[in-house]
Amino acid sequence: MSDATSAVEWTPDRIKVLIALWEEGLPTSEIGRRLGVTKNSVVGKVHRLGLKKRQSPIRQTSVTTAQPKKVKKAPTPSPTAATLPSGDVVRLEELTNAMCCWPEGEPGTPEFHFCGKASVPDKPYCDAHCARAYVKVSKDKKRIVSGSVAPKVSNDTEAA
């Protein structure tokens, strides 16, 4: 490969994840934080992509930071289907409804994979990653890596 001008390019993979996270209800800050970009970049890209809007400055049904609403019916996506092959990483194509779609690594790279663990009912992520995505944290651990990419996003199991 002879080209390596752009460090962070919006590849379909990243855009896919971007939309995925956005659709899931993750705050722009969180998405941008994970991808290593600012919330402005995320929201800008999303806007340009023609995605839907969520919480406009004007009153448009509060979102409450993507709080998982309770559903009356729990289909229970059979976590058994999330039995991923050991030793093999979960790719985007291998993602299932009962799989934790938590992007790890740099989207666009062969190293990029998902958690692949069994996600909790009505939740796109597993118990551990769910807390990471819906964390109410504010300000804080901005882990934006500059220069060399590779934000170890595999940090979970946090215990205060």
Partner DNA sequence: CCCTGATTCGC
Partner DNA sequence: GCGAATCAGG
Residue closer to DNA (CB basis): 16 or 39: 39
Question: Cβ neighbours of residue 17 under 8 Å, at least 6 residues apart?
Answer: 35, 103, 107
If one asks whether residue 44 binds DNA (CB under 7 A), the answer comes out as: yes
Interaction mask 82-121, DNA, x per CB under 7 A:
----------------------------------------
Tokens 């991808």, located at residue: 35
DSSP state of 80: G
Picking from 27, 57, 59, the residue whose alpha carbon sits closest to that of residue 43 is 27
> Does residue 145 bind DNA (CB under 7 A)?
no
79 φ, ψ (degrees, to nearest 5): -60, -15
CB of 143 to DNA, least distance (A): 15
Residues lying near DNA in the complex (CB under 7 A) are found at 8, 10, 27-30, 37-41, 43-48, 53-59, 62-63, 65, 138-139
